[in-house]
Amino acid sequence: MPVIATWIVTAASLVAAVRGEVAADTPGAWDLEVVAVKLPSPLLTGSETTTRLVLRNRGSVAWSPESNFRVAYHWLTPDGRVVVRDGLRTDLVGKVPAGEEVSLDARLLTPTAPGDYLLQWDVVCEGLVWVSERDPTPPVPVAVHIDRGPLTHAFTTVSSAMPAFAVSGERRTVSMLLRNDGTEPWTPERPINVSYHWTRSDGTVVLFEGARTRIPSEVRPGGEVWVAAALEIPDRVGRYRLQWDMVEDGVCWFADRDPTPERAIAVIVLPELSLARHGATAVALGCLALVIVARRREPGTPLRRVARLSDIVWIVLALAMKQGTVLGEMGSPPGEGSGWLILGGAAGIGLVLLFLHEKARPWLAWLVGAFVSVVLLADVVYARFFGDVISLISIGAARQAGDVGASIASLLRGRDAWVLADLLPGALVAMLIGKLREPADRAGRKYAAALLMLLTVAGASALVLKRPGEATSFEQVFKSELVVRRIGPVNFHCWDAAGYLRARLFREPLTASRQNTIVDWFETHREQRAGAGPWFGAASGKNLLMIQVESMQGFVLGYKVDGQEVTPNLDRWKARSAWFSAVTDQTSQGRTSDAELATQVSLLPPLRGAAAFRYGDHRFHGIAGILGGRGYATLSAVPFDGNFWNRRVTHPAYGFNTSLFEEAFEPGPVVGWGLNDRDFLRQMLPKLAATRKPFCALLITLSNHHPFSEFPRELEELRLGSLEGTRFGNYLHTMHLFDKAFGELMAGLEERGMLDDTVVVLWGDHAAGFPWDATFARATGIRMTEPGYYIADRVPLMIHVPGAPELNGEKTLRAGQIDVAPTLLALMGVDPAPYAFLGRNLLGNPGDVPVTQQYGAWMTAQHLYVASGPGLTDGGCFDVASMEALPVDACGAGRLAARELIDVSRGVLRWDLQVDVHTELSGRRDGN
């Protein structure tokens, strides 16, 4: 902490000196005196008021609003522990020079709990220093008593249908009649929800923040309302206590304000019994019992002959049953006839195993069961994050699992063990079958083969007879879930593996006609990416600094909690930048690496797998490579293992001559996956200063990463109230941490005289991974509807061009991450037209074209299309502004354009065509 404080003071001193103030590091630079203060009486809990305050600046540094000086305060306990560090801000009415006083009405928000406190007034230079921290005689805190205010947040459960027993892992709805016992009405405009807390009998908290259910209508004080409250039962069996509560997000939990909160009720959680989860174990135990009993019979008896096939019985039924767990986790009901397909696929596996050598077969069957079970467990975990199942190509990145262990661990549940529970009795079955000495039973094998063949044929027939026109159209389905619903997870993986092998071993040859079609597309869309308009070349010869921020979503900019700005530096930076507020997250299964592909080389990621592994060795035309050919020094930096996402291969392929990974940085506190953003950007500042000019640099941050399970308390600065300790609250802390680090980096560049010669570009890499529920929808300010999910999936993009103030301001053009490369190159004076970029120059003549998203969705200024299958009519067309459904034909033309864009990108990646297309495009123009 002393090192941190020293750095802050030094930075503040330098900034003040640059702004023409006196030397800020001299003794007496910071000194604050509270001359007079008049507190209202009484002070009540949780109330905001104003206080007449007179302060004197006894230091040598002037307090200027232009330098972000504001009045604030700290609340402490009588023994000096901090209760509230960042009090509400009050703007200064003007500059307060050294030795002068300022009189103002300061905002004050009291703590939510009554009692005795200490109140210390202070002055803060945002993002740099609190004056009291440098004052040799800081203001003495004043003792204040807070009385309990009006009971604004209180309720009573008049009636509830909650039973005393529940099933583990169950999601249920509890009908409740609630009465408003507070003094304020519950209105739909306020984020008021019913929620709950789970504790054990000894008081240990199991889950503090339960699922939220919005109050359906306005409830006046004393009024009542029926609510169908969502409730998730703990995964583990045992005795629990359930306390119902209500919460106004960003304000308080009702139990914190109500002196008589709802009493916790005892609930006994019983084990869940389901065919999908427990059926496989029951079958394995049944087969084990059969083999044990059969061993006591004479050789050649029917029971022993049947027992010899118990491994096949177990593997077929177990694999069929377990697949329901994956479908249940995705919340996707199986398609009509899919049950026969699932059973038929499992029977096909059993049929193959049946004809293996009898001595080896039981253990081979067990190995197959273990492998498929692990894949199904991976599907369950993957579905919780992506809402989809994992593909074979994604498994190629499995060696990175150790690096994302925290995310995986946060997604595992105790009930997931049932996916693997049958393997132990299954191993005993395999071992005991080998000890059953029986003569060859060809007749029994024939009967078993006939039955398995019948089931396999029945499964295949269910697909062909149900929808023969789509039996082979799976390639046209954008989301794997849609295929899984129709054919089951195991059949999907078999189909996926076949496609993977076909692509690897029997790749479709590139025909001249296909290549011409791809080149023609780029020629046709040439003007949309061309270096045109008044901003072409506006930043020629300047440095280019690109910052890709982990998990930053667009809603964070301007977001406030209890009056506190989560990203104050970025909020101010927007005014100095071209801020594109409607940029779509275009990543897929490659997540962060997909964002690198899209922004650096303007290509869409593949639908399955990560391009970083599938196409990392291809030839690309990236921002860095193009600028490097024009004399720029090119540098990428990410404080993490360079093998992660194959960056030691992809970054040079994108054109970076130098890449810095974790070994290039001094260790520091880890937040998220690696070195925290503060220390990362601090260490990058001198590295950038030492880099040959002009440079092109890409910095990739790590702090803001799923699962947001914790955040170091010593780095916390926001007061989050009811959000404290939650995943969303930790996410806000990480965003605030990055924002502060970004502000320090910009101040450092300015101190070194580099900011006036540097284009600074910032974007978010992908969504944070929060479920699309009522809580997150309110955070984004978008209604929780299906189209709302796609509209809310935005990432920020800000481009600061020094010396071009006319460019600054919000741009509402619909855009995507693939638009970054052509836009930046055009600013740097490079015409993007001859390059095989899918994106557009957003500052030229971009037009209004479909911006593609995950799962086959796309959006224009007017229309949003959500794909649900291979045909146009399988999806839905919506009006972007109202989110109301439109006739699907209204999206017909846009769908064709979006599909064409995806097909072109797929072709460029499949056949490694980006450099070849550029050569041909250049040749066509030269020939003309």
- Indicate the pLDDT class of residue 291, thresholds 50, 70 and 90: confident
Q: What is the pLDDT of residues 595-631, one digit of tens each?
A: 999 999 999 998 877 788 788 778 999 999 999 999 9
Residues 6 or more apart whose CB falls under 8 angstroms from that of 834 comprise 918, 921, 922, 925
Residue with the bigger pLDDT between 872 and 4: it is 872
Among 221, 220, 211, which Cα is nearest to 172's? 211
Q: How confident is the model over 140-156, as a mean pLDDT?
A: 87
Residues 6 or more apart whose CB falls under 8 angstroms from that of 444 comprise 305, 306, 308, 309
Here the tokens at position 670 are 């880890």
What pLDDT score does 668 carry? 81
E strand or H helix at 267: strand 265-270
The model's pTM: 0.60
Here the tokens at position 393 are 């190509």
Contact 731, 672 (CB under 8 A): no
Q: How confident is the model over 468-485, as a mean pLDDT?
A: 50
Angle at 784 between CA 783 and CA 785, to 5 degrees: 100
Which residue type does 123 have? V
- Indicate the pLDDT class of residue 504, thresholds 50, 70 and 90: low
Q: Are strands 809-811 and 578-584 parallel, antiparallel or unpaired?
A: parallel
Q: What is the pLDDT of residues 21-61, one digit of tens each?
A: 444 456 678 899 999 998 888 888 877 888 999 999 999 89
- Is the pLDDT at 14 greater than 50, yes or no? no
d(CA 98, CA 60): 5
What pLDDT score does 13 carry? 43
Q: Are strands 82-84 and 43-44 parallel, antiparallel or unpaired?
A: unpaired
What are the residues facing 859 on neighbouring strands? 851, 864
What pLDDT score does 388 carry? 67
Q: What is the pLDDT of residues 90-108, one digit of tens each?
A: 999 889 999 999 999 999 9
What pLDDT score does 713 carry? 77
Residue 650 has, within 13 A of its CA and on its CB side, a CA count of 24
Here the tokens at position 257 are 């304000």
Contact 155, 254 (CB under 8 A): yes
Give residue 829's region: left, alpha or beta (phi > 0; psi -120 to 50).
Answer: left
What pLDDT score does 804 carry? 93
d(CA 736, CA 724): 14
Decide: helix, strand or coil at residue 146: strand
Q: What is the pLDDT of residues 676-735, one digit of tens each?
A: 899 999 999 999 999 999 999 999 998 876 677 778 877 888 888 878 878 888 899 999
Q: How confident is the model over 67-74, as a mean pLDDT?
A: 91
d(CA 311, CA 289): 12
**CA distances, 424 to each of 213, 358, 608 (Å):** 41, 20, 33
Q: What is the pLDDT of residues 574-596, one digit of tens each?
A: 999 999 999 999 998 788 899 99
What pLDDT score does 762 carry? 97
Burial of 392 (0-12, 13-18, 19+ CB in 10 A): middle
Q: What share of the chain is helix, strand, coil (3-state, %, to 5)?
A: 40, 20, 35
Q: Which residue has the tokens 């069929």?
A: 320
Residues 6 or more apart whose CB falls under 8 angstroms from that of 430 comprise 311, 362, 363, 365, 366
Q: How confident is the model over 851-880, as a mean pLDDT?
A: 87
Residue with the bigger pLDDT between 215 and 774: it is 215
d(CA 555, CA 391): 31
What pLDDT score does 29 carry? 84
Among 346, 339, 325, 337, which Cα is nearest to 276's? 325
Residues 6 or more apart whose CB falls under 8 angstroms from that of 743 comprise 127, 568, 569
Percent residues over pLDDT 70 in the chain: 89
- Is the pLDDT at 298 greater than 80, yes or no? no
Contact 611, 597 (CB under 8 A): yes
State whether the Cα torsion 860-861-863-864 is positive or negative: positive
d(CA 84, CA 141): 13
